[in-house]
Structure 1
Amino acid sequence: ACAPYRRLSLCNKNFQKINNYSSNAKHDLLLDVCMAANYEAQSLINYRAQYDATYPGSGSTFTMCTMLARSFADIGDIIRGKDLYLGKKKKNQNETKTERDQLEQKLKGIFEKIYNDVTSSGRNKRTNGAQKRYKGDGPDFFQLREDWWDANRETVWKALTCEAPKDSKYFRQTCGDNEKTTIRTPSHCRCTTHDVPTYFDYVPQYLRWFEEWA
């Protein structure tokens, strides 16, 4: 699948700053991801009119939240090692790896440190089942990365939508625990509860991209 235009520079500003050599890298990961998400949202807001014209099927009333949801899902794929976009090679540096390869290498290093932390026995000699859950998870740490995203996706969504226009609503009624009483996001692409209104991040990336190009 061909990546949509917005994906070509998604989160480059902050994601490329991720450093897996720092002793604080595993602690800074959520901050770096949230900063990248916030920067992405700011860049998308400036292209809302262009997006309306390019993807009229999204519905102008819900365009902003739809744009954010699509980038949110791509961020989730990057974190979980599922991103299909390879990126480009650095110019004038004789690089053999793409930007995507370099970022993936950094993320693997960070999740290796997280893995070592959660699977190491503390004073009570317990790991709360982490050793069993993540047994054989390296070197890609896909299960750990999936769990990290599940635990932090709400925080990333808040960072992504903190500057969304007040009248922005998500196109589906997904706020609430009861399927019969769910409502649309009242404002700012956010539910009044702690729900993330979109499930795009659980839809395969190539299907999302096909739909976006349709």
Structure 2
Amino acid sequence: MQSGWEFLWTVIASSAGTTALLALAGWMFKAKISHWLNKDIEDIKARHKRDLESYKTMLIAQAEAVKASQDVKKSMALNIANMRFESVRKLHESTAGAGVVLASYVRHCHTLSLDSQVEKLDDFVAQGEAMQRAILQAAPFVGSTDTCTLLNLHTAFFEEILALAKRGGQAMPDEAASQFISKMFALQTSADRVVHKHFGEMFHMA
């Protein structure tokens, strides 16, 4: 009988020990799982933080690149605008009144001394060359149609300079002089319109 009780207590003790061991193992397993989870969470948070910093750095770099590109475009646009303004200014300087002055000179050139005529022809040649340079420089900004209008004035201007030199100070016949004056006034008016148009466009853009 006694051995039976000993066996029973042995079984109970064994069951209690097993339960305790199982409880201890469960607690240790939970602690280990919790440690792993915490470690994984910290790793994920650190990785996300690194990714966020990298993304922020990339966004800042992209923003700076866009700003730099915009600054370059603004600088280029400003340089082109300055070039256009300067070319139209030279155009105005070289063409303004050129045809009218030459037409007026044709009327009374024969009254001047030979030295005065030579000096005046030199001035006209210099003005014609300046006009040609200004027209060619402005051509990219004013377009082909307006360039042709300006070149028509320049061509008529230079042709009359050569004709004056060939006449050797002799007056142009009245009828021919009247036709030439009318022609030069018309060409001058067309050229002035071109210059004023492009000045106006630039002022509206400012």
Identify whether the pair has TM-score above 0.5, normalized to the shorter chain: no
TM-score by length of 1: 0.26
TM-score by length of 2: 0.27
